[in-house]
Chains A and B, each alone.
Chain A
Amino acid sequence: SQQGEEDPQALSIQEGENATMNCSYKTSINNLQWYRQNSGRGLVHLILIRSNEREKHSGRLRVTLDTSKKSSSLLITASRAADTASYFCATDARYGGATNKLIFGTGTLLAVQP
């Protein structure tokens, strides 16, 4: 099952520019997370925002969450070539009240040109 749609599907920017990715989802959530994946290997967690939070920062990352619109955005400031990767949002909903169910969005492929 797939929870979210991300846009854009692909984004190409120059080093030093900012990159913004958007995620929309369909059902109620406990939190929303962003992950990064390099070259089809394991995913690395970037940041988590709880359903009662609206904005969160971590280093060069800024995440917003609008639960009324069921949408989130990830902003990467001052991008670097090393930020080139696929970025996925993932929604975490408690299934049956206890089990975490982490469902990924469609992803954005970010290319940062040096």
Chain B
Amino acid sequence: DTEVTQTPKHLVMGMTNKKSLKCEQHMGHRAMYWYKQKAKKPPELMFVYSYEKLSINESVPSRFSPECPNSSLLNLHLHALQPEDSALYLCASSFINQDTEAFFGQGTRLTVV
């Protein structure tokens, strides 16, 4: 199984809502990533988890809260988002500390209204 599964595929939420994005992989990868991508822009790194611990936070606002409950799952909890947070949110995973590719999910298209 070489898939990274993200749910939901699409999400519309109000600025006062709380929602969560989910990501799952079963490739034994111990590095997991969240990226944000705006239209016609490259993916921007948000968070990296290594061995289920947060190792990189690229100065992301606290209204985005990541969680890695186990080695296969990665969540991104969303609260009090702004319309400018509307974007494609991509999850990825890879082996740690090796010259190897990252596998990406298909993303969650988030719209904040």
Interface residues on B, range: 20 to 34
Instruction: For B56, list chain A residues within 8 Å (CB).
Output: 95, 99, 101
Residues in B83-100 with C-beta less than 8 Å from chain A: 88, 90, 92, 94, 96-100
How far, in whole Å, are A104 and B43 apart by their CA atoms in the complex? Answer: 6
Is A42 a contact of B97 with CB atoms below 8 Å? no
Is A31 a contact of B99 with CB atoms below 8 Å? yes
How far, in whole Å, are A96 and B106 apart by their CA atoms in the complex? Answer: 29
A-B contact pairs, 19 of them (CB 8 A): A1-B45, A2-B42, A31-B99, A40-B37, A41-B88, A41-B106, A42-B90, A42-B107, A43-B104, A90-B102, A94-B97, A95-B48, A98-B50, A99-B96, A100-B50, A101-B48, A101-B56, A104-B42, A104-B45
Residues of A within 8 A of B (CB): 1-2, 30-31, 33, 35, 40-45, 48, 50, 88, 90, 92, 94-96, 98-107
